[in-house]
A = this chain, B = another copy of it.
């Protein structure tokens, strides 16, 4: 869908439309907002993007994104290196850090095993994970993977691979989310919460 503007504007719209959450129509709206606020929004965003492009790199240890390698979490000596939290993506690291209750380190897999999408163990950072755990400095591996089929398949595979290291592998609890009304919960969650019930 052309915007009938110059090629520079068309190109901006086409690229903005590729962002998750934006399509051709909202991409055009975003481009228009940027072009109307050329000094207050377009220029700072262009600078921020160029800066991110130049500086942000993947941490060689955990696979997260930061402007330093190793990343701030891996380099932070006050964090407990014996706790290793395995997550699917960098977004999960950000979510865990917002929670603020985890003080260990992370390992980003970069995806999940998926037979449908043809993603095998070699496509993920599972070998690196086994290496980190095998060197003896890790006391517990916490799997914070999505409660989906692919997430659980990946969790089982990792638990298998780590079995011979004798390091305990745990996973996040399943249950009623905070603020969750039983009326709106699916049967699977209620069943899991019931099985994992605890003294009140």
State the A residues within 8 Å of B (CB). Answer: 1-6, 8-9, 11-12, 15-16, 18-22, 26, 28-30, 32-36, 38, 41-46, 48-53, 55-56, 65-68, 72, 89-91, 93-94, 97-98
Contact = CB atoms under 8 A, between A and B. Distances in A.
B67 A32 contact: no
B20 A21 contact: no
Q: What's the dominant secondary structure at chain A's contact region?
A: helix
A8 B49 CA distance: 9
Contact of A65 (B9, B48, B49): B9
Nearest to A98: B4
A1 B95 CA distance: 10
Contact of A35 (B26, B36, B90): B90
A75 to B, nearest CB: 12
B32 A42 contact: no
A42 B33 contact: no
Contacts of A18: 41
A1 B98 contact: yes
Contacts of A2: 98
A43 B53 contact: yes
A44 B15 contact: yes
